Amino acid sequence: MGLLDKLIGAVNRAGAPLQNAETVVVKPCHVRFISEFLDRVYASPTFGYLDFSNALNASNTLVDPHIILKKMLAAPFPSDFASELLHTVEIELRDICDWCGWQREEALDMMSLLVRKHALLRDGRSYRKSPKFIEFLKENIRDGKFAVGDRPSHVAEEF
């Protein structure tokens, strides 16, 4: 028995007579029933869709963007760092080491912050930028926020 046969049977049992297999009369009570059924299924704790949706929405929200900006501005060459982050698809720890001239511990600190604040999301062995972080980078690059004091005082000037 195919899906169409099951739907036709369900509609017939619900009191919506069929003229043929191509015409279905749908009444408001049918729409209410289906709507309530889907709400019941998707909201059930067993199905877990509500929890999944909440987790997905949380991961699509950038947490404390002002802290991210402050931390990135404290990195050596913040405009270069922001640009590299924006234009790199897969981000690894060694990328942050290379871009900032940092040792592993400093880069781990930056990466940890970016992950905790939902800027970076794990994607296999590397990380990818969240959509909100991409917007954050574009906006702050466009507004020139990363160019201000492009080199912290502890980083020697390049020749």
Indicate whether 12 pLDDT > 80: no
Which of the given ranges, 19-23, 24-28, 94-98, has the highest pLDDT on average? 94-98
Residues 31 and 68 in one domain: no
Q: Residue 146, class by beta-carbon neighbours within 10 Å (0-12 exposed, 13-18 middle, 19+ buried)?
A: buried
Residue 149 lies in a domain: no
Please tell me the predicted confidence (pLDDT) of residue 46.
Answer: 78
Lowest mean pLDDT among 29-43, 87-101, 113-127: 29-43
Whole-angstrom distance, CA of residue 116 vs CA of residue 119: 8
Domain assignment of residue 131, given as a range: 61-142
> DSSP code of 14?
T
Residue 150 lies in a domain: no
Provide the 10 A C-beta neighbour count for residue 40: 10
Distance of CA 102 to the CA centre of its chain: 27
Q: pLDDT (tens digit, 9 = 90+) per residue, 65-90?
A: 999 999 999 998 899 999 999 999 99
Lowest mean pLDDT among 14-18, 22-26, 45-49, 56-60: 14-18
Residues 131 and 76 in one domain: yes
Residue 68 lies in a domain: yes
Mean local confidence (pLDDT), 141-153:
75
Per the CB < 8 A criterion, the answer to whether 96 and 75 are in contact is no
Residues 39 and 78 in one domain: no
Among 134, 151, 135, 141, residue whose Cα is nearest residue 88: 134
Residues 106 and 44 in one domain: no
Residue partners of 68: CB distance under 8 A and separation at least 6 = 62, 113, 114, 117, 119, 133, 136
Residue 151 lies in a domain: no
Structure tokens at 130: 């969240």
In this prediction, residue 105 has a pLDDT band, given cuts at 50, 70 and 90, of very high
In this prediction, residue 132 has a pLDDT band, given cuts at 50, 70 and 90, of very high
Number of domains present in the structure of the chain: 2
